[in-house]
Amino acid sequence: MKKVVIISTGGTIASRFKPETREVSVGNSSEPFQELAALRLPSIPVETFEFSSIGSYMMSLERAFELIRMIGDLLKRKDIMGVVVTHGTDTLEETAYMADLLLDASKPVVFTGAQKAADDFEPDGPRNVLDAIRVAADGSSQGKGVLVVFDHEIHAARDVTKTHTSQLNTFQSAEHGKLGEIDQDAVLFHRAPLIRATFPNGAIEPRVDIVKLAMGSDRRFIDCAIESGARGIVIEAFGRGNVTPDVLNGIEQAIAASVSVVIASRCPRGRVAPVYGISGGVALSRAGAVFAGDLGGIKARILLAILLGAGMSGDALKHAIEMASA
């Protein structure tokens, strides 16, 4: 009988309060999930692996890439119908989107986590894990890319983001909306994601930085990124994709030094496009910067790291980013 595999990485869902130090710390994270599934979902066989036991604020691009290679190997097994990954919420959306870009498989891969520790009076982790198992085992989840299940909702990894530091409904897809929901035992999809691109490759480039602009920003952070060896820079620009004149000069120097520059917006919704003059998007486009469409800066960084890891540059890089954005 085919099974669902749960890969645990740590996070709040596997954490407990330590009274002696007054802190929440990650502990053993895999065994409770198998026991929970056996009790509440006995018709779905579950196998567990512990990949790591860390807070997701300690996750790196390289470690996330290693995790996704492990997921890919598991998906090749004929006895596995889907994979659930339990992950800290701080960087869950980044690892999930990386998986969505790298894994070209129809079997469901579902990320979930928790906002409350495992020993909280009202933990949300158990219900999220059970919902994620239901989604991973449901045939309607196939071919929809990597999914994030949280607070009874199903989201596309590409679209979802953490919107609140502590509330249970933190994961939202503000621009495009959720894909569906879980109502008791029923998995209900309302739409399927239409924007998806995969780039299965064997490496990732971790030297990709983000620079977020504020009123009066200058080029110092861009210069620092160049001097410290960055291979790519994502600019979280104003509005439609505009920067200050000094930042434009820094971007021109970065591109001249063969550093790829991608433009996203610091706005939570909407697309970037070359519209405005002087140091606006038109000048950035002429300088060779690439626009990330509706992708936010966090997701654009993941995409750029993967494409640079695949050895892309120039027109090939621009075309790949346009494929993955809207």
Residue entry with tokens 């971007």 = 251
The answer on pLDDT for 193 being more than 80 is yes
pLDDT for 289 equals: 98
Question: Would you say residue 199 lies in a domain?
Answer: no
Report which DSSP code applies to 121.
Answer: S
pLDDT for 18 equals: 85
pLDDT for 27 equals: 75
pLDDT for 30 equals: 66
The answer on pLDDT for 201 being more than 90 is no
Shared domain check, 213 and 175: no
Establish whether 89 is an annotated binding residue. Answer: yes
The gap between the terminal CA atoms of the chain, to the nearest Å, is 40
Shared domain check, 269 and 176: no
pLDDT 10s digits, 34-54: 888 889 999 999 999 999 999
- When pLDDT is cut at 50, 70 and 90, the band that residue 326 belongs to is confident
Catalytic residue among 12, 91, 112, 170: 12
Residue 198 is a catalytic residue: no
What mean pLDDT is reported for the chain? 95
Question: Would you say residue 169 lies in a domain?
Answer: yes
In the chain, count H helices and then E strands.
9, 16
- When pLDDT is cut at 50, 70 and 90, the band that residue 198 belongs to is very high
Tell me which amino acid residue 308 is.
L
The answer on pLDDT for 1 being more than 90 is no
How does 140-159 read in b/e, with b if 16+ C-beta sit within 10 Å?
Answer: ebeebbbbbbbbbbbbbbbb
Of 257, 267, 189, the closest CA to residue 222 belongs to: 257
Predicted structure pTM score: 0.96
pLDDT 10s digits, 245-288: 999 999 999 999 999 999 999 999 999 999 999 999 999 999 99
256: enclosing H helix or E strand: helix 245-256
Q: 17 vs 306, which has greater pLDDT?
A: 306
Shared domain check, 281 and 238: yes
CATH number at residue 182: 3.40.50.1170
Report which DSSP code applies to 30.
Answer: S
Shared domain check, 305 and 232: yes
Q: What is the dihedral of CA 294, 115, 37, 187, to 10 degrees?
A: -40
The answer on pLDDT for 17 being more than 90 is no
Which of 137, 161, 189 finishes a domain?
Answer: 189
Catalytic residue among 9, 86, 89, 95: 89
How many structural domains compose the chain? 2
Establish whether 223 is an annotated binding residue. Answer: no
Residue 12 is a catalytic residue: yes
Tally Cβ neighbours within 10 Å of residue 215.
Answer: 6
d(CA 70, CA 13) in angstroms, rounded, equals 21
Shared domain check, 147 and 47: yes
Shared domain check, 59 and 183: yes
Q: How many angstroms separate the Cα of 11 from the Cα of each of 92, 264, 295?
A: 9, 28, 25
Establish whether 246 is an annotated binding residue. Answer: no
Q: Please say whether the beta carbons of 181 and 155 come within 8 A.
A: no
d(CA 171, CA 147) in angstroms, rounded, equals 12
State the residue range of the domain holding 21: 3-189
The answer on pLDDT for 29 being more than 80 is no
